[in-house]
Chain A
Amino acid sequence: MRHSGYQIWLLTLSLAAATFGAIVYATGMGHIAVPATEIVRVIAARITSNPALLVGIDPVFPFVVFDVRLPRILTATLVGGGLAMSGVIYQGILLNPLADPYTLGVSSGAAFGAALALLANLSMMGHFSVPLFAFAGAALTLLVVLYLSSFNEQISANTLILSGVIVGAILAAGISFLKYLADEQVSVIIFWLMGSFASRTWADVAIVAGAVLCGLVLSLYYARDLNILSLGSRSADTLGVESTRVRWILLLGASLVTAVCVSVSGIIGFIGLIVPHLMRFLVGPDNRKLLPVSILAGALLLLVADTVTRAVLPVEVPIGVLTALIGGPFFCVIFRRRQRRAV
């Protein structure tokens, strides 16, 4: 199944093309259908600020394309890429192909922060109070988990996963308690937790784009070190990798990307787990090839899922529920296959 270098390039390029095509196509889908040629014209008109291109186009289209659909579509695309990237990094650092942004409790921390903000009905920072609290929750959780699992400045993969699970369980109880306190407002919290890209703005796009871009640069810079880390830290150290430092940097980077993604979208599961897993099957475990391919595939997958729930299904299903419903069983199949091979 593993492909050669030339085929991997082709795969990367086709995924990039497919993602771009899907962005344009998805922008046309919805309650008001916009033809692809007109989308391209609207975008070109905005970029070149040439109103001549808009002649003959329904005046509602530029509004629908720019203020409603593109922010949501781009946010979904970027979050998909960001979650898949974090998944690749977590799996590499934790030496566990089944790890993902949830394993460290980072997502639960973000959820707890968001639930707190929603419960207190915090509006002092306007639109950004929920994302900010989610981000703070994720960052704090990460610090606690790292504190629990580091000893003599070393972090071990096993204790990281255990600490993540423990802290995640405590936070889950905390969220339940907040829901209980919320009484009649509980639906707001529940909907946020289920994840949604509805009514995203260009500010969201910019924040996620910045985070994902930083994460991408960082992870590609350390991609080969991450490969070597899969030999274990003793070997990595003697091969010239500053394994403790590289782990810390990548762990912080991936967690920040996760926190930013969760803060704009709510909880979206399984993308960070399944996409890297599938892509590893196609291109192998070399992170220099795996990272770009996974980011593109994650972006494409989440965009398609969001478009399905937004424009295809008769009722909008929360995106987090959709990815879990599709991803969960799929994951069970992968897991079962791995076990059978291991026996």
Chain B
Amino acid sequence: MTTANGFGLTGVSFAYGETPALADLNISLKPGKFYGIVGPNGCGKTTFLDLLTGGKSPDQGSVTFMDRPVADYRRRDLARLVALVPQDFGIDFAFTVQEVVLMGRHPHIGRFSSPGAEDWRQVDAAMAAIGISHFKDRFINELSGGEKQRVVVARALAQQTPYLLFDEATSSLDVRYTMQIFNVARSLVKEEGRTVIAVIHNLNLAAAYCDEIIFMQRGKVVTCGPTDTVLDEAMIKNVFGVENRVAFDDFSKTKQVSFRYWS
């Protein structure tokens, strides 16, 4: 199931030793869309992203990117096309915020070259977009968890890739900064035709921002399709096992999920 562009996974399985993580995945991800991946903890979302970045190779099946197997790309070439915001972002060394964001330019800078004007421009633009310019000289290991996470997002933006993968990129952020990052991502998709593939735990965020939602459960894709058609009460009940109601919300002008918290 390959597409002219984007990612294509055919019959992909992956296991950690004896423990299967993904089984027989068939899915294609088209360019220019905002994808949300949702599913319970441990259902293989992060492993799925690692297969897309080539960080892990499938035990069976094939993963293609722009009609070529991901494994055939040189890491450096792939890094100019696909950026990842990982879940863990602890850094023990006292790099400044600006130095960390500049690391996003690594695949664009020759081994013995120094960053050029374009690199600095992208670094400044990324820090401005995420609103971290005012602490660019602080040390990354002295920031709060949320601040670190925003730095890591800025680093991925500075990478200037057509594809951006978020692995719970806003897990430590308050509602304001979460919206800021998702708004930036949304505008990259809408205005520049880039592709965002984001693992999201908050179903309402997924409902508000994603063009398509991928529901995953126990290493399998349950369904994948436009948000309006796949996001419904039965699906959420099936995948997460919680009572819920999905309704159009006038204030946010989008579908929103509400839950029965206790009874």
A286 to B102, CA, bound (A): 12
Contacts of B103 in A (CB 8 A): 227-228, 231, 239
Decide: B111 and A240 in contact? CB cutoff 8 A. Answer: no
Q: C-beta contact mask, B86-109 vs A, less than 8 Å → 1, else 0? A: 101111111110011001101100
A239 touches B94 (CB 8 A): no
Contacts between chains A and B (CB distance < 8 A), count: 73
Instruction: Indicate if the CB atoms of A232 and B159 lie closer than 8 Å.
Output: no
> At the interface, yes or no: B21 with Cβ under 8 Å from chain A?
no
Residue in A97, A227, A235, A238 whose beta carbon sits within 8 Å of that of B92 in the complex: A97
B94 touches A284 (CB 8 A): yes
Chain A residues closer than 8 Å to B99, beta-carbon distance: 286
Across the interface, do B95 and A284 meet the contact criterion of CB distance under 8 Å? yes
Contact present for B95 and A240 (CB under 8 Å): no
With both beta carbons as reference points, the residue of chain A lying nearest to B85 in the complex is identified as: A235
- The segment from B71-79, B179-187, B220-228 that touches chain A is B71-79
Measured between beta carbons, the chain B residues less than 8 angstroms from A228 are 103, 106
- Tell me the bound Cα distance from A224 to B112 in angstroms: 9
0 or 1 for each of A231-246: is its CB under 8 Å from B? (1 = yes): 1101101111110000
Q: Are B76 and A237 in contact (CB under 8 A)?
A: no
Interface positions of A from 272 to 310, Cβ below 8 Å from B: 280, 284-286
CB < 8 Å neighbour of B91 from A230, A238, A239, A286? A230
Q: Report the nearest B residue to A96, measured CB to CB.
A: B92
For B124, the chain A residues whose CB sits under 8 A away are none
Contact in complex: B86, A234 (CB < 8 Å)? yes
Give min CB distance, B70 to chain A, whole Å.
Answer: 12
Within 8 A of A (CB), among B149-175: 152, 159, 165
* B84, CB-defined interface residue at 8 Å: yes
Interface size class of A (residues with CB under 8 A): 20 to 34
Give Cα A285–Cα B139 distance, bound, in whole angstroms: 11
A311 at interface by CB-CB < 8 Å = no
CB distance from B247 to the nearest CB of A (A): 38
Whether the pair A97, B93 counts as a contact (CB closer than 8 A) is yes
Check if B195 is an interface residue, CB within 8 A of chain A. Answer: no
Which listed residue (B50, B54, B90, B159) contacts A239, Cβ 8 A? B159
Q: Is the CB of A242 within 8 A of B95?
A: no
The B contact surface, by secondary structure, is mixed
Enumerate chain B residues within 8 angstroms of A284, measured Cβ to Cβ.
Answer: 94-96
Interface residues on B, range: 20 to 34
Question: Are B93 and A238 touching (Cβ within 8 A)?
Answer: no
Query: Would you call B94 and A224 a contact (CB within 8 A)?
Result: no
CA A241 – CA B88 in complex, angstroms? 18
Q: How far is the CA of A242 from the CA of B73 in the complex (A)?
A: 12
Whether A238 lies near B94 (C-beta < 8 A) is no
B94:A285 contact, CB within 8 angstroms: yes
**Alpha-carbon gap, A242 to B54, bound state (A):** 11
| Bound-state Cα–Cα, A238 to B92, Å | 19
If A238-B83, A239-B104, A240-B106 touch, does A232 touch B95 (CB 8 Å cutoff)?
no
State whether the Cβ of B13 lies closer than 8 Å to any Cβ in chain A. Answer: no
Q: Which residue of B lies closest to A245 (CB)?
A: B75
Structural contact, B78 and A240, CB atoms closer than 8 A:
yes
Known contacts: A234-B50, A285-B94, A285-B95. The answer to whether A239 contacts B88 by CB under 8 A is: no
Interface residues of B (CB under 8 A from A): 50, 53-55, 75-80, 82-84, 86, 88-96, 99-100, 103-104, 106-107, 111, 152, 159, 165
Q: A238-B86, A286-B95 are in contact. List 16 more A-B contacts (CB 8 A).
A: A96-B92, A97-B93, A228-B103, A231-B91, A232-B86, A232-B90, A234-B88, A237-B53, A238-B55, A238-B78, A238-B79, A238-B83, A238-B84, A239-B106, A240-B107, A285-B95
16 A-B contacts, Cβ less than 8 Å apart?
Answer: A224-B106, A224-B111, A228-B103, A230-B95, A231-B100, A232-B90, A234-B50, A235-B89, A235-B152, A238-B78, A238-B86, A239-B104, A239-B106, A240-B107, A242-B75, A285-B93
Question: Which 5 A-B residue pairings sit nearest by Cβ, starting from the closest?
Answer: A240-B79, A240-B107, A285-B93, A240-B76, A238-B84
